[in-house]
Structure 1
Amino acid sequence: MGYADMNQVGTGLRQRIYSRAFIVGSTKNRDNRFVYLVLDNASGDTAIRQGILDGLSSLGGEYSRYGKMNVAVTGTHSHAGPGAWLNYLLPQITSLGFDKQSYQAIVDGALLSIKRAHQSLAPGRLTFGSTEVEDANINRSPSAYLANPEEERKRYTSDVDKTMTLLKFDRLADQKTIGILTFYPVHGTSLFGNNTLVAGDNKGVAAYLFERSVKDDVEYADDFVAGFSQSNVGDTSPNTLGAWCEDGSGLRCTFKESTCGGKTTGCHGRGPYFREMDQGMKSCFENGRRQFSAAKDLVAKMKSTSVKIHGADSVAAFHTFMDFSNFTFRSPLDAGRGDLETCYASLGFSFAAGTTDGPGVFDFTQNATGGSTKNPFWYFARDLLHAPSEKQKKCQEPKTILLDVGESQLPYAWSPNIVDVQLLRVGQMIIIVSPGEASTMAGRRWKDAIAKSATDILGISDPIAVLGGPANTYTHYITTEEEYSVQRYEGGSTLYGPHTLAAHMNLTLTYLPYLRDTPSRKKLPPLPMGPDPPVNTDISYSFITPVAYDTAPIRKSFGGVISSPEKSKTYKPGDTVKTKFIGANPRNNLKLEGTFTAVEYFAPGSNSWEVARDDFDWTLVYHWKRVNPVIGTSEVTVEWLIDDDFYSVGNPRKLKSGTYRMRYFGDSKKLNGDISQFEGTGDTFQVQV
């Protein structure tokens, strides 16, 4: 979905995005299981989750054990994935509506990953470890963090969580590791808003590097999966050099508002390789490498220092819905406060200011009283959409409402009011499945409360609480009440008012007993299911132009070579090689489980061509360009940055010197709608390593 910028239109593929499924089940009770999905996209989603549940239901049989209660759909929060698959109108607007193909690709990929995880189920051992990753995230809203009580802040050494927690899955039969699942908070915004290539951002890189690194390792199963899940990501940034004014002044952005000359547009976070001018590509890889290296080192240490997940037959999960438009509850943090309430969803003026990872436009700034709040035009525009009631304004204070999305239902719901509530448990570990982006301190409070109550209510003496998300739907942000009062971007994007976090904590604590052992759960009353949210897939608008047809230039064929690498040159690591082909629209066939591109190496011993790189690899890029939209001609450029030491980190399969060529696999569409496959093969070139 990119950065909600209509000018950020996809032009190709840097990295395939994946669904990775983890199933945990009791060996004593086959019905006690849960599925934790890590999708390389922005978030979980109501319609996506429903599509997955419908798919599992249609599979029947063994898959009937997976359903509404025990399936968690999380996103890594990459801002470099395709858009147009989200359920609600607001995020659909900047992607020109809803695209069934994009939606179905995510659902089908998730279902396939669940099927593969299910088919590999076997008795295993779960172990837990943690490590500090100091150099992969910073707080992008430190002024809001400072609004939290000083005594609370003194409990922590950083204004972001630096701890990476890791769950390791080992198969008992052969002692092989079949998966790892990590939790670490850092925004998927290493790739900037001018990037137009699909990728999994830094967590996609981390997973790619880990999975690549164990290809020939006998300690790992052939179908090993590395999941790098998001955590309390709300106020984190991967742009670890901080926010600077990109006007040549050499100044940092202002501390409170993140502006330069009073505007947000020139203020941008910098990653470790910001000088490369490559849309954040190298910084993204470096951030992913830092997460990968930390996880790899941790796994090695866990051979002697891991914590066993004991009582692993205590597997439980629950899921319900709550209408947050008018939820009244008692504070879980201060019983003496009386009743609290949440509000219809709304977004404040500071939401439009964007962040230092992706600045906004016009006169919006990250505070509650910026210039935009004094501009009558924005109130006029707001009221044309939906004028908030006095009750809504009061409920959301001190937020100044810009978009009253929760009460906007025409032509269909703009944003969710009905919110997912879900917890998962295995042994002493409890996973909070958060529908929104919890800020650092919000996540800490939530995890602390769950861990404490797990001891009191579940009898767990050494609880481990982790948080994963954004999951199941997308409810924007979850800040503390103190951070909300500052109304930076995260507070302005906390949909349900200042008590949003307290509401989430209240509900998960209230339903915590449903994670008890099976006999104890059976004594509880049925879990209230709550109201079902709308699923808008069948009524969503789409203004995305379909593929009408493709044509090749006169007397040319699809897959024909337009330009090739230099014959006289010997390429070396760090060089970029390109082959350009006569192409067709990639939407004719997404090639799920396949590849658009390949680099092949000629193996002299077997006198045959071997695939050396394909869409799986970060350094091989597929560029698509529509040359003439009227007659339907396209060009595809296959670009390979030959892996040097930086990009070869952890790769057990070293590049060989010799003869290489590039391949392109496409599909063209005729005017009558028929689609035909074709291939292109580039000229050979020489590589010396």
Structure 2
Amino acid sequence: MMGYASLAQTDTGLHMRQRSRAFVIADQSDSNNRIVFINADIAMGDTGVRRSIVGNLSALYPGVYDNTNIAFVGTHQHSGVGGYLEDLLPQITALGYVPEAADAIVKGTVLAVQRATDSLAPGSLTLGNTTILNANANRSPSAYLANPAEERARYQYDQDKDMTLLRFNDASGNARGFLSFFAVHGTSIYENNTLVSSDNKGMAAFLYESDVEPDSMPGNNTFVAGFTQSNVGDTSPNTLGAFCESPGQPWDGQSCSFNQSTCGGTTEDCHGRGPGFTADSYGFESNRIIGTYQYQGAKTLMGQSLAAVTGPVKAVHTYMNMSFREFTLANGTNVTTCPPGMGYSFAAGTTDGPGAFDFIQGENSTNVNNPLWELVKGFVTPLPPPEQVACQYPKPVLLDTGYAHLPYEWSPNTVDIQMLRVGQFVMLIMPGELTTMAGRRLREAVRAALISKGIVGDDAYVVIAGPANTYAHYVTTREEYGVQRYEGASTIFGQFTLESYIDKYSELVTYLSPTVTSSPPSDPAPPEQTSKAISLRTGVVFDAPTIFKSFGDVLGDVKTDSAYHAGDSVSAQFVGANPRNNLRLEQTFLTVDKQSGSTWTPVKSDSHPSTLYQWVRTDTILGTSTVNITWTIEEGTPAGSYRLTYYGDAKSIGGKITPFVGHSSTFTVS
């Protein structure tokens, strides 16, 4: 799975499917002036996947969509599939590249853009914002406090509480959807979970879309609710705080240390807790709560009269090589960024997902009490040369990924710089995770440049969307970088990373003017690496049913002698097969069916948060599997007769894949 970088976190089923939601905005005076905003339920955008998406869309719509006007933004959930990113470092914990995962993301995203394009029609946009409390917290408050006191005094909170919403209206003023921006990490569901999910952004989208169209299955709705990530770097949905989960230790149940988030001097037992925390929780209830807060914020804005968005549609895109990029600060000082490098505190993880060994956050020296790491790190990546050590200071470099080129690039050296303009509304498409204060500084600088250069008036509104297009890890302020918590250690291009982005984005605002028809200068695009990618995962060899059974047969049935009620969980176990045989894109692995006379009608799918699909390989040699399907009955479920249905696909020894269906017995909901 992608996000927590844990080899033990391997997919075993589904909680909620990952989806892409596409938004196309065209200038009515010239519909070729358009942008595509893709809000994908993945951890982050990726260069290789985006390259495939752009290639497909450019071929389908020549002269309409290209590298400039397509933004590929991840919601940054940590419960989804891994192995789709092009660089080696994020592939390692997914056992390399996973072509079927990358292909599914590309296929689904292209289909979403096709549907958005086919439904393009005259309409209008409106814009507003609201405050959402209790939905995020700062997970590195000690680093935030390193920022100047006078700057912090300008803000009430140490994370952004505003949700910005762009409403899409048809020609009659009826809402067709919206795109919202709010900063909160997709870590509501914890690292102990192994079911694919879309975390709190996907939950918010499900809640809103099913509220508008309650009779539509997820994915078949016509109203599209986009919940986009923003300057997410130091935010957390674990709003109760971080606590020591150290049974038998005197610090068990106490808050983790403030500066380094440790328990008894180590990080492993320090865990953030969401608002629905229980000792045996996977975070699903916290996920529902944080998703609900965002759903309610969007609903508040959609019920208000919002400001009209007017003006031209324009996009600008360029590539920027961050390795030793030289530029000048506002005070006239010449500085450089660095080749990528991960600091020691990167290995410590965060309170959302702590690391291991003896690494701790806030470690700005190499005095880690594990001499083995000092010995082996040179074998993992090259030891940093003196110029890299000096450039990355005060970060001590643990993994010098910018100098690691075998078997291919470990981290990106070149990033996408992209801005999308719709009238007075400008979206900064960011190739990384900005912390709260870093995002504030970038937004303010770009807004000031837009106004001072006469591109947009005083009503200019700027938002950040990311991590998008390329994943280049974190962006902190210089003050936060000096503290070297996880976010600073993961700011891979050095202490002037934020200033480099401010310099480039501010420089490019001129190209958002409709009178400027030229393209900005660009560094070379990053090299293609997908063709070099390594995969250590074995394919599905074959499936076999349990002895004396057939695929889809029921092994453990539902209760039939008494009724179920709201809040009860209904489960059935089936003779199963490996779900990798067929990902059932645009389909489902399960349904909950309601009986009406002799007809069964599906009312739930594997995209509903009330259902769980769990697959277990019971014997690798014999190729046997079981599948457990669970439905937790929601309040308001109509009384009647129901069944659980399992859709599977089995692979024979000869390689033929055959679909099959299994049904539970009929049960009653009272």
Shorter-chain TM-score: what band?
over 0.9
Native 8 Å contact 2:44 2:471 kept in 1: yes
1:507 equivalent in alignment to 2:498: no
Aligned to 2:29: 28
Counterpart of 1:223 in 2: which secondary structure? coil
1:364-443 → structure 2 map (5 Å cutoff): 364-369=359-364, 373=368, 375-384=370-379, 385-443=381-439
Whether 1:10 and 2:11 are equivalent positions in the alignment is: yes
Whole-angstrom distance in 2 between the partners of 1:223 and 1:664: 26
SS in 2 for 1:261: coil
Distance 2:451 2:215 in 1: 39
- Structure 1 residues 448 and 495: alpha-carbon distance in aligned structure 2, compared to 1, 3 A threshold: same
2:620 is the alignment partner of 1:629:
yes
Listed one character per residue, the Cα deviations across residues 412-469 of structure 1 (whole Å, up to 9, x for unaligned) are: 0000001111111000011000100000000000001111111111142210000000
Deviation of 1:470 after TM superposition, in Å, equals 0.1
Q: Which moved more, 1:554-563 or 1:575-584?
A: 554-563
Shift of 1:339: 0.8
Match of 2:605 in 1: 614
SS in structure 1 of the partner of residue 631 of structure 2: strand
Aligned to 1:192: 190
- 2:654 maps to 672
**Whole-Å Cα distance in 2 between the matches of residues 556 and 50 of structure 1?**
46
Corresponding residue of 1:95: 94
Amino acid at match of 1:167: L
d(CA) in 1 for partners of 2:655, 2:403: 41
Relative to 1, partners in 2 of residues 1:105 and 1:372: Cα closer, same or farther, differing over 3 Å? Answer: farther
Q: 2:427, 2:465 within 8 Å by CA — same for their partners in 1?
A: yes
Residue 283 of structure 2 is matched in structure 1 by: 280
Q: Distance in 1 between matches of 2:151 and 2:352?
A: 27
CA distance in 1, matches of 2:242, 2:290: 17
Contact 1:365 1:372 (8 Å CA) reproduced = no
Determine if the alignment matches structure 1 residue 225 to structure 2 residue 203: no
The Cα shift of 1:275 comes to 1.1
2:468 aligned with 1:471: yes
Using a 3 Å threshold, how does the CA distance of structure 1 residues 214 and 376 change in structure 2: closer, same or farther? same
**CA distances 1:607-664 after superposition (whole Å, capped 9, x unpaired):** 41111211120011100000111111110010011113xxxxxxxxx41011110000
Q: How far apart are residue 377 of structure 1 and its match?
A: 2.6
The separation in 2 between residues aligned to 1:598 and 1:307, in whole angstroms, is 42
Residue 308 of structure 2 is matched in structure 1 by 308
Distance 1:662 1:374, change over 3 A: closer
The residue number in structure 1 matching 2:560 is 567
Corresponding letter in the other structure for 2:541: A
In 1, Cα distance between equivalents of 2:133 and 2:618: 46
Q: SS state of the match for residue 83, structure 2?
A: coil
Give matches, 1:204-215, under 5 Å: 204-215=202-213
Q: CA deviation at 1:575?
A: 0.9
The question of 1:551 aligning with 2:544 is answered: yes
Q: Which runs of structure 2 are paired with 1:339-378 in the superposition (5 Å)?
A: 339-369=334-364, 373=368, 375-378=370-373
- Residue matched to 1:539: 532
Classify 1:222/1:283 alpha carbon distance in 2 versus 1 (closer, same or farther; 3 Å): closer
- Aligned-pair CA distance for 1:217: 10
SS of residue paired to 1:386: coil
3-state SS in 1 of match to 2:615: strand
Aligned to 1:140: 139
Q: CA contact under 8 A between 1:21 and 1:36: conserved in structure 2?
A: yes
CA distance in 2, matches of 1:186, 1:33: 29
Residue 149 (1) aligns with residue 140 (2): no
CA contact (8 A) 1:127 1:168 kept: yes
- Determine the C-alpha separation between the residues in 2 that align with 1:34 and 1:576: 44
Amino acid aligned to 1:307 = A
With normalisation by structure 2, the TM-score equals 0.97
* Alignment of structure 1 residues 519-538 onto 2, 5 Å: 520-522=515-517, 524=518, 526-538=519-531
Q: Deviations over 1:293-331 (max 9, x none)?
A: 11112211x2x3x111022xx110011111101100012
Q: What RMSD over aligned residues (CA atoms) do the two structures have, in Å?
A: 1.4
Match of residue 270 from structure 2: 267
Q: Residue 410 of structure 2 aligns to which amino acid in structure 1? A: W
One-letter amino acid matched to 1:169:
F
Shift of 1:553: 2.0
Q: Residue 251 of structure 1 corresponds to which residue in structure 2?
A: 254
Contact 2:23/2:116 (<8 A) preserved: yes
Q: C-alpha separation between the residues in 1 aligned to 2:253 and 2:8?
A: 28
Cross-structure match for 1:175: 173
1:547-584 CA-to-partner distances (Å, cap 9, x unmatched) read 01111123311111111111112111111110111010
Aligned counterparts of 2:650 and 2:221: Cα–Cα separation in 1: 35
Assess if the C-alpha contact under 8 Å between 1:40 and 1:200 holds in 2.
Answer: yes
Q: Could you tell me whether the CA contact under 8 Å between 1:364 and 1:372 is conserved in 2?
A: no
Please list the CA deviations of residues 396-421 of structure 1 after superposition, one character each: whole Å capped at 9, or x if unmatched: 00001000001100010000001111
CA–CA distance in structure 2, aligned partners of residues 60 and 601 of structure 1: 42
Distance 2:61 2:429 in 1: 25
Letter of the aligned partner of 1:253 in structure 2? C
Unmatched tracts of structure 1, length 5 or more? 645-653
Matched with 1:323 is 321
Q: By how many angstroms is 1:514 displaced?
A: 0.5
Residues 593 and 601, structure 2, Cα contact 8 Å, conserved in 1:
yes
Which shows bigger deviation, 452-461 or 108-117?
Answer: 452-461
Amino acid of the residue matched to residue 371 of structure 2? P
Aligned mates of 1:459, 1:80 — CA distance in 2: 39
| Amino acid aligned to 2:392 | Q
- The amino acid that maps onto 2:301 is L
Contact 1:2/1:8 (8 A) holds in 2: no
Give 1:529 deviation, angstroms. Answer: 2.7
CA distance in 2, matches of 1:37, 1:20: 6
1:266: Cα distance to partner?
0.8
Q: Residue 637 of structure 1 aligns to a residue in which SS? A: strand
Of 278-287 and 492-501, the range deviating more from structure 2: 278-287
User: Paired residue for 1:455?
Assistant: 451
| Cα contact 1:372–1:378 (8 A) shared by 2 | no
| More displaced 10-residue stretch of structure 1: 134-143 or 207-216 | 207-216
d(CA) in 2 for partners of 1:587, 1:100? 12
Instruction: Give yes or no for the alignment of 1:299 onto 2:302.
Output: yes
Per-residue deviation, 1:372 = 5.0
- For 1:92 and 1:256, locate their aligned partners in 2 and report how far apart those are by CA, in whole Å: 31
Choose from 481, 487, 490 the match for 1:490: 487
Alpha-carbon separation, structure 2, partners of 1:418 and 1:58? 25
- Return the offset for 1:175: 3.0
- SS of the residue corresponding to residue 222 of structure 2 reads strand
Contact 2:610 2:633 in 1 (8 A): yes
**Structure-2 separation of matches of 1:192 and 1:2:** 10
CA distance in 2, matches of 1:490, 1:569: 53
**Aligned counterpart, 1:46:** 47
